[in-house]
Amino acid sequence: MFTLLQAQGANGGGNMLLWLIIIFVIMWLLMIRPQQKQAKKEKAFRESLKKGDRVSFGGGIYGKVHEVADHTVDIEISNGVVVTVEKSMVQPVAENAPEKKK
C-alpha cells in the first residue's frame, strides 16, 4: 500500500502542483492585478484633489471641492451649501455627467 501511494505521489504530485500554480497565475492576472491597478488609480485621484475639482459622492450628488483636509473633503453642492464627506467616498465625475444648470 505504501509503495502504491509513493508511486502516485511521484507521478501525479508534480502535475497537481504545476496545475495549482498555473491556476493561481491565471487568477492573479484576471482578478487581483486589475483590482490593484484600480485601487492605485483611485488613491492617486484622492491625493490629487484640489479646490475647484468637480466630483460626485453618495449616490450621485455632484459638487465642487471647496477645501481638502487629511481624511475629509468639503464639497460645495449648491451656492453656499458646503458638506463635509470622507475622502474615500469621493469619486471622479464621469465624462457624460450632467453639468450644473445656472
d(CA 62, CA 77): 6
Cα→Cα distances 68→39, 49, 63, 74, 90, Å = 20, 7, 13, 6, 11
pLDDT, position 5:
47
Q: How many CB atoms lie within 10 A of CB 59?
A: 6
CA–CA separation, 1 and 11 (whole Å): 16
Q: Which three cell numbers stand for residue 57?
A: 459622492
Predicted local distance difference test score (pLDDT) of residue 12: 61
Residue 39 and residue 72 in contact, taking contact as beta carbons nearer than 8 Å: no
Encode pLDDT of 17-58 as tens digits.
888 999 999 998 999 999 999 999 999 998 999 999 999 987
Write out pLDDT tens, residues 62-76: 999 999 998 999 999
**CATH no. of 51-92:** 2.30.30
pLDDT at 9: 52
